[in-house]
Amino acid sequence: MTSIYGFICTFILCIGFASAQTVDVVAGLDKPPYIIVKDDTGFEVEVIKAALAPAGYKVNMLYVPMGRSIRFIKAQSVDAALSLDNQANLPESWLSDVYVVYQNVVISLADRNVIINSIEDLNNYTLVGFQTASNVLGERYAEAVRTHSGYLEMADHHRQVKMLLLGSVDSIVMDYNIFQMLKIQLDPDNLTTVNIHQLFPANPYHVVIPDRLLRETFNRELKNMIDNGDYEKLIHRFELVDLLELYNRPVSASLN
């Protein structure tokens, strides 16, 4: 009797282990509050973990530069990729429902008296964009920076903000929420005053999931999270500007 009971318990455990499938998810490098590599967390990380957990999936996060992230998902060497949109030249059918919204802005040092009223004005100042900015911020932006000798892109958001605060560049381009968190970390006494220039519309992002069943699972559970308030709880936990409201906000609305 004991041996039969032990066999049944072992069989049940084996089924449990077999059903807990691991999903490899690739994301860009550190960009708190969305991606916090050190703690394997962040708003986007917690959204996909929470969305896939009810279906028995365990998420294994991989953090690489965004350009490599796109290559990985194109080759389908991972199951999913975060923070991508339809500008990444991926099959539209692979895109999940919108799960996060970014608001990219230009940030300049107040004491530089930078005047930026249009995208074309960016050519008058040194500027550091995030990696892939010239691919995702529209054709006008891509055209403006294409021959701009004072422009470069980098994957490290911390370095972007450091360069601005040290006065190494006049301005940077990045998501408002990312900048706010990194500035608090790098300038806790708020010694540096900056100006926010809102030139871009809000950017909705998707999880890229080639597998249809996995994508449908994510979409279904994401909707459940939004409906039951769990999504809103994550917004407050990571102290984000209300992303759903941001998605519907005119670009002229103030973030300050």
234, part of any domain: yes
CATH number at residue 25: 3.40.190.10
91 plus 112 within the same structural domain? no
Q: pLDDT grade, residue 251 (50/70/90)?
A: very low
160, part of any domain: yes
Q: Which residue has the higher pLDDT, 250 or 63?
A: 63
7 plus 92 within the same structural domain? yes
pLDDT tens sequence across 8-49: 444 444 444 445 699 999 999 888 999 999 999 999 999 999
pLDDT tens sequence across 79-118: 999 999 877 789 999 999 999 999 999 999 999 999 999 9
65, part of any domain: yes
252, part of any domain: no
| Total domain count, the chain | 2
Which domain covers residue 115, as residue numbers?
A: 104-197
213, part of any domain: yes
Q: What is the DSSP string of the chain?
A: -HHHHHHHHHHHHHHHHHHSEEEEEEE-S-BTTTBBGGGTB-HHHHHHHHHHGGGTEEEEEEE--HHHHHHHHHTTSSSEEEEE-GGG---GGGB-S--EEE-EEEEEEGGGT---SSGGGGGGS-EEEETTHHHHS-HHHHHHHHT-TTEEEES-HHHHHHHHHTTSSSEEEEEHHHHHHHHHHH-TT--S-EEEE--S--EEEEEE--SHHHHHHHHHHHHHHHHHTHHHHHHHHTT---HHHHHTS-TTS---
- Least confident window among 54-58, 64-68, 242-246: 242-246
